[in-house]
Structure 1
């Protein structure tokens, strides 16, 4: 059985592991992302590859999942929160330094591909995938194919404007309203004298009755629900699948669906429509690695 290395580069951490041709992940590990240090981050990626090769030297390729606009040849037009990788050809660099065939894929596209392969989207032909992390990633699947757009920018749902902000329009975007880190955590910390770096703490404080946590979560759900409904009425998907660490929280999925239903019912033009509720990605934090490796297998 052929083996591959999966690298999932996020704005906060890089997850990696050994992935076989059936999408089974083993020997998982992670390290902090040096998002402002290109040389240092490249060294860390190569070290991770070498670590996995030392465990199984039969690996035949590398699949990389990361945020940003990724061109077919591996050139990164943008790179999301991993700013040091903007306008580099990551595929060429990694192939040169590791000697292994490499494929680079946008993180949300990779997650959508993985869910179609062995996850929650099996048997579904048209769906939307959202990944909530440092920012908001997205993928649009039409007739079993990732729709990439004219400039490989399709699925950048985080750039959508969901709230008004006359001073800085981007602060009203889904990234800054619906992401876990620069959305939920950032907004909570704006008003709290006990800042957090883990969204789970906000949920715990809300469950314990903290008014601020409850209000921030209410606003968070509302912005996210509006963004999802905008996507549903625009693309008419059969399913909306949400990934990222926050999707492991069943309370989050339930409360988000309640808010989606509340907003839908208050919209006179769509309150009679049957819009799909969101469901959690099955593959959780492994989806990026699995989807990127799928692309290597089928390259």
Structure 2
């Protein structure tokens, strides 16, 4: 199989790259997500695909994206923060434009597929993958396969209510999404400049207020993890997304979990995804291979 163009649609950035037949990412880049304007979103997408086509032999296109995704048809009833794709079929739109086979899958499921195939979930029959990005993505890998739910909505951890301290009940997207930490940090620093996760964690080493801010944010993540563990009793929890590269995140999650009553009865390894920020793209590639094998 020749090269596959892979995309990971995020609410802030579109990650894209090329994966060869051996499953290695041989080139990768990003551009800013156009979340609301479909025409602009598609124009940038089509242009990126054509750029790859001019330099490489392309077998197809694999897409990881948020929302409720029908992997057989490509239809997305909702696409998370990318409202331009709500009720749209990116698979059909792309196949019509570039005449290449396209496969789509939910981003949390893609991260789980990458980890199950060659990452930190190898050998696990039941595990949970939680991806931390603009919002919270997830996958329930149960008894050897992805559990999708009756209406393709399983694994939407971001919808779990984790904050009841005010009249407005907040879900994990709003409390545990990395964008929430960035917003609070920028407010504290009184800046509108772009902020990277590494900058916040580094600042926490010398600023107690920033450390407290991070710990409070992690509380919402830990609460969600605890609830998932006592509900599904998986073998392992994997944390993905770019911020999972920060060792303190995983250390603090595990520390906080030990403070929960009964955690000792349900305790399992909570570890970062091997592929961190690349898990979505690699998982999309594995999904593409599986779907094409079935069709051919």
TM-score (norm 1): 0.92
SS in 2 for 1:162: strand
Q: Is 1:28 aligned to residue 28 of structure 2?
A: yes
CA contact (8 A) 1:184 1:216 kept: yes
Contact 2:136 2:177 in 1 (8 A): yes
Contact residue 230 and residue 266 of structure 2 kept, 8 A: no
Residue equivalent to 1:226: 223
Task: Report the secondary structure of 1:45's partner residue.
Answer: helix
Task: State whether residues 5 and 19 of structure 1, in contact with CA within 8 Å, keep that contact through their aligned partners in structure 2.
Answer: yes
Question: Can you list the C-alpha shifts for 1:46-77, whole angstroms capped at 9, x where unaligned?
Answer: 111111112212x1111000111111311111
RMSD between superposed Cα atoms in Å: 1.5
- 2:245 aligns with one of 248, 255, 267: 248
Partner residue in 2 for 1:297: 289
Residue of structure 2 in register with 1:180 after alignment = 178
Q: What secondary structure does 1:11 align onto?
A: coil
Aligned to 1:45: 45
Q: Counterpart of 1:278?
A: 270
Aligned to 1:205: 203
How far does the alpha carbon of each residue in 1:184-235 deviate from its partner, in whole angstroms, 9 at most, with x for none? 2223344443466323222222211x23212211211211111100000000
User: 1:188 touches 1:212 (CA, 8 Å); kept in 2?
Assistant: no
Q: Is the 8 A contact 1:18 1:28 kept in 2?
A: yes
Partner of 1:7: 7
Structure 2 CA distance for aligned equivalents of residues 165 and 101 of structure 1 = 48
Residue 116 of structure 1: how far off its partner (Å): 0.7
In the alignment, the residues of structure 1 paired with residue 135 and residue 69 of structure 2 have an alpha-carbon distance, to the nearest angstrom, of 16
1:119 & 1:79 partners in 2: Cα distance? 26
1:144 aligns with 2:136: no
C-alpha distance after superposition, 1:249-287 (max 9, x if no partner): 11221122111122x2xx1xx144141131111112221
Determine the C-alpha separation between the residues in 2 that align with 1:174 and 1:277.
21
The DSSP-based 3-state class of the residue aligned with 1:256 is: helix
Task: Give every structure 1 segment of 4 or more consecutive aligned residues whose post-TM-superposition deviation is greater than 4 Å.
Answer: none
Consecutive unaligned residues of structure 1, counting only runs of 5 or more, are none
Q: Which residue does 1:125 correspond to in 2? A: 125
